[in-house]
Structure formats: C-alpha cells, structure tokens
Amino acid sequence: MSGRSREELIRQDVTDLHGLGYAQELYRTMGGFSNFAISFSSISILTGAVVLYDYGLAWAGKAAVSLGWPFITVFVLCIAASMAEIASAYPTAGGLYFWASRMKNKRWGWWTAWLNLLGQLAMVAGIDYAAAGFINATIVDKLAGGMFNTVEVIPGILNGQLVTMGVILAIQLAMNIAGINLVAVLNQVSVWWHIVIVVGVVILMTLMGQPDKSGLDLFSIRPMDTAGSWNNDLRFVDLQYGAATTYPVFLAFFFSLLQANWTYTGYDASAHVAEETIGARVSSAWGIFLSVAVSAVVGYLFLMVLSLHTPDLSALFPATLDDTTLPKASQYYFGGGVAVISILVYNLGEFLGNLLAAGIAIAMWFCGLSSVAASGRMVFAFARDDGLPASGWLKKVSRRYRTPANSLIGICAVAFLFTVSAFVVGGGTAIVIVTAISTIFLYAAYGICIYLGLRTTAWLERRVWSLGRWSKPIACVAVLWVIVLMILFSFPTSGNISWPFMVGAVALLAIYDYAWARSRFKGPVIHGGEAELTEIEKEFEHAVEDLSGG
C-alpha cells in the first residue's frame, strides 16, 4: 500500500465499493490516522472509565481497576482483532449489518443492524449525558456559581444535565453535517487531547500526589456495603439493590467490570466510516484493533495513578445509603465522575484539580462527536437498503457537504429522547441504564458477526488483514466473552432496570420483523452496475460544483 499514490488508493477503494454494489456518495478523504482517531475518540478512556469509576469502586474496590481493566482488555482485544479481519473483507459504511448479511443472509443482517443501532443510540445517549454532567460540574457551575445538573427545568422530566446534553448534541450535529474533513481534524485533535490530559494527570499526581487514605488494597476485592463502609467479608457483600440483598464477592467483582467494558465500546466506528477512508480495507482493520490496544495502555496508566492516590472515601460519600437517600447518592453508586473529580482536587488542589477535570469534560465532548459521526453512518447504511422506517428521508446525502445529514439528525434526536425516557423512568440510575444497554446491544452485534465468521468461509478470501492460524481460536474466545457479558450486565444490580427494556426491545423487534421485515426487507441492495454507480457519483460532483459556483 505504501508504494501507491493517494489517487490510486482512492480508485481502488471506489472499485471495491462498486463491487459491493454501492456508489461513492460520501466524501472519501480520511487517512489511516483519522480512521484510528475516530475509534480511539469513541472509546475515550476519559469518558467511560471516568463516568463509571465510582460504580466499579462500589462493587469491587480498587480491584475493579487493577484486576478488572487488564482482565477485560484481553477479551476485548480478541473481539477487536476478529472484527478487524471482517472489516478488511467488507469496507462499507454501516459495517456490521453488511458483514452479517453477506456472510449469512438478510435475516441475520437485519437483526445485527437493529442490535447495533440500539447500541449506537444508547452509546451516544450515555456519552453525551455523562459529558453534560461533567461539563456542568467542572465548567458551567464554576462560571455561574451553582449546581446546574440538579436544576429541575421540568420536574421529573427535564433537568439541567439534560438541557446541557441537548446543547452538546446540537453543536455536534452541526459539526458532523458540515463535513467529514472537520470531524476528521477534530478527531485527530481528540487523540492528542486525551494523551496530554492523561500524561498531565500521571506526571502531576506522581510528583504532587497525596498519600492514599482510602484503606483499600490495590488488588483486593472490597465492595462497599449499604452502610457506607468497605466490606471485609471475603465471601459475601450486602448490597440491597436488585433481585437479591447479598452477592458473593467474586460476583460483585464481575459486576464492576461494566466500568471497563463500557469504556471499550464504539471501536466499530472505524468500520462505519470505511467509505470515507483512503485504503479502507487495511486502515479500518488497523483502526479497530489499534484503538483498543492504545486505549488499554493509556487507560490503565490513568486509572492506576488515580487508584494509588485516593482520599478517605468515607469523607466523600454519604455515611448511609438507604432507599430514601438513593437518588442523592446515585452519583456514587451509579456513575457521574464524582470520585475522579474529588481525587484530582485532593491531590492537586482546587485550581489544578478542577482544570484537569475540565479537560476531561472536553474529552467527553470529543467522544460524543465521534460517536455521533459513526452512528449516523450506521443509520445511513441501513436506510440505504430500506431497512428503517423513513428510510427514504434518512438515506439522503447532503449535496453540499456529502454527509448523511438526515441520518445524523435522526440519531441525535432519538438519542436525546431516549435519555429523557431513561431519566423519567430511572432518575439517578439513568447513566447505568444507558451504559448497560449500549454495552449489551453493541456487543451482541459484534458477537453475531464474529460467530458468523466462524461458521462461514467465503469472506476469508476477501480479507487483507489476517490473524492466520490464530483466527478461529481468537474468535471462539471473543464469542464466549460476548455471551458472558450479555448475561452479566443484564443482571438487575444497582437499581439497573435495563434488562426489561432489552427484553421489551427484542420483543417489539420480533413483532416488527414478523409483520414487515420478513417479507419486505431485501437486504443489501445492488444499486447498479459500474455505469450506473459512476453516474450517481458524477451527479454529486456536479451538485458540489453548482453549489460552489464552479
């Protein structure tokens, strides 16, 4: 690939896309680093790992980081490697939906698409809801002097955090519609922003960090019980939320893994922007794998330095957590970044601590921008083959910017409404509802594609990024972990009511499938031969020239 010019690579990409039946409607301009950057930003170790740091701490103490992060990393690297192989065979927008359809049939593709879409919606919702909370706490509150997150704009329906989320989504939507070049540049900035913040935290905490006063061992599983003290019983932990009042400590440790596993979502973004990437077969594959690998190292350094300099936790959180105080304590048990902000301020003082916390808030915004971009492409690709209600509107591409503008509008609007619904139903548990749903649905889609890769062989001849003889063993490990996490994160712990939503969503999809999709959905559609596809592309080029006055 290194011996070929940019123009030659683009021509080959367009030829590959024509071979899959699609015209080059989107603007192909992203390089390999930009492709990696969108997945790295979507993972964003300064989002998931920060938002759910409190949650992991509550369920397993510091072991959620010291043991949980590397444990999850091994499995996620297997999943990413298996997905990278398939991505190199089918370089299309939407990625997983097309993979499943081609490897098996349209039925598998339809279900994969919907699982991926629901996961993408919940991911955008979770990221931007968390970003809004963090931006309010670290920037808005400092400027306005108040606690905007808890302001009741419409009691029980809309609070300050949701208002800020709406503003964030509107800005991200406008930037995404404005063109992939802008998003690509911002994603590259995001990579360096994440690294600078992490390096800054690691260096400053190492040089200026205060002694650890938590009383927690780094590698001991020590959940927090309902009385606000850290449990010393190595067999059971008393956490009176969900279907049971006590859990074995080893199971509590597995519940804490939501922190790491939700962080490792969104790396399929590299596949979703394949039609806008130069050298898509190789670049998308490496983008998927390297985004996870780099995040693993950077994320572990960041989380470990936080865990080595923890203040007295009893001074940070309520002494008792009963049903009446649960909503007030939900920032601790159900995420929100309170522990991370407190740790930074404890070690670095008010100014530096809050300054770095504000930097983390901006990193979350970058994460949301990338997630909106990837999700919009997924919606566009599925709508292009008439797989969604209002597909005729959703599949339209902006003639001026050559971006899937309507799909981007749709994903942002539904993600916001979804978050409002989660807030109305779950209150303080909203963040866990959306994070658990996004993790389960996204990984269900990942798992289906890897499973189909194990059961079929035609795609193997198309791949250009290969694991060789390790391909099947790694894929088996990947599928096994997907099954485990779907059960684990569906468990009704910590007030998490996501499992009824997931059961209801699958039931409604089954009805929709039986009533409409089974007979009407055609799967990936060949949009024409070489001449027809080329003509479509010329129409876009002429439209851009006319709009620019050329």
Report how far residue 224's alpha carbon sits from residue 59's, in angstroms, rounded to the nearest whole number.
6
What is the DSSP secondary-structure string of 193-242? HHHHHHHHHHHHHHHHPPPP-S---TTS---B-TTSSB---SSEEE---S
Tokens matching residue 396: 């339209």
Report how far residue 96's alpha carbon sits from residue 101's, in angstroms, rounded to the nearest whole number.
9
Q: How would you write the pLDDT of the chain (550 residues) with one tens digit per residue?
A: 557 888 999 999 999 999 999 999 998 999 999 999 999 999 999 988 888 888 788 778 899 999 999 999 999 999 999 999 999 999 998 789 999 999 999 999 999 999 999 999 989 998 898 889 888 888 888 887 777 877 888 887 888 889 999 999 999 999 999 988 999 999 999 999 999 999 999 999 999 999 998 888 899 887 764 444 444 554 544 444 433 345 667 777 888 888 899 899 999 999 999 999 999 999 999 999 999 999 999 999 999 999 999 887 665 554 444 443 333 333 344 444 568 888 999 999 999 999 999 999 999 999 999 999 999 999 999 999 999 999 999 999 998 888 999 999 999 999 999 888 878 876 656 666 677 788 889 999 999 999 999 999 999 999 999 999 999 999 999 999 999 988 887 776 545 556 777 788 899 999 999 999 998 999 998 888 888 888 888 887 766 555 555 4
Q: Put residue 407 in one of left, alpha, beta given phi > 0 → left and psi -120 to 50 → alpha.
A: alpha
What φ, ψ does residue 162 adopt, rounded to 5°? Answer: -70, -35
Report how far residue 447's alpha carbon sits from residue 82's, in angstroms, rounded to the nearest whole number.
10
End-to-end CA distance of the chain: 33
Report how far residue 316's alpha carbon sits from residue 16's, in angstroms, rounded to the nearest whole number.
56
Three-state SS sequence of 86-103: HHHHCCCCCCHHHHHHHH
Tokens matching residue 75: 């499995």
Domain 6-223+256-503, CATH: 1.20.1740.10
Report how far residue 120's alpha carbon sits from residue 122's, in angstroms, rounded to the nearest whole number.
5
Residue written as token pair 């039925």: 107
Report how far residue 80's alpha carbon sits from residue 478's, in angstroms, rounded to the nearest whole number.
9
Q: Identify the pLDDT of residue 241.
A: 42
Does the predicted TM-score (pTM) go above 0.75? yes
Residue type, 470: W
Neighbours of 328 (CB within 10 A): 12
Cβ(512)–Cβ(440) below 8 Å: no
Q: Identify the pLDDT of residue 547.
A: 56
Q: Identify the pLDDT of residue 543.
A: 63
Outline where DSSP puts E strands in 38-93: none
Report how far residue 380's alpha carbon sits from residue 385's, in angstroms, rounded to the nearest whole number.
9
Closest Cα partner for 4 from 272, 283, 285? Answer: 283
Report how far residue 88's alpha carbon sits from residue 462's, in angstroms, rounded to the nearest whole number.
8
Q: CA distances (Å), 36 to each of 193, 237, 287, 501, in order?
A: 15, 41, 4, 32
Residue written as token pair 């890769």: 453
Q: How far is CA 468 from the centre of its chain?
A: 28
Residues making up the chain, counted from first to last: 550
295: Cβ contacts below 8 Å, ≥ 6 apart: 40, 43, 45, 263, 264
Q: How would you label 236-261 residue by residue, b for 16+ Cβ within 10 Å and e otherwise?
A: bbebebeeeeebebebbbbbbbbbbb
Neighbours of 315 (CB within 10 A): 10
Neighbours of 234 (CB within 10 A): 12
Helix residue ranges per DSSP H, 209-335: 249-256, 258-263, 269-272, 280-307, 326-333
Sequence spans of domains, the chain:
6-223+256-503
Q: CA distances (Å), 435 to each of 115, 264, 496, in order?
A: 14, 11, 10
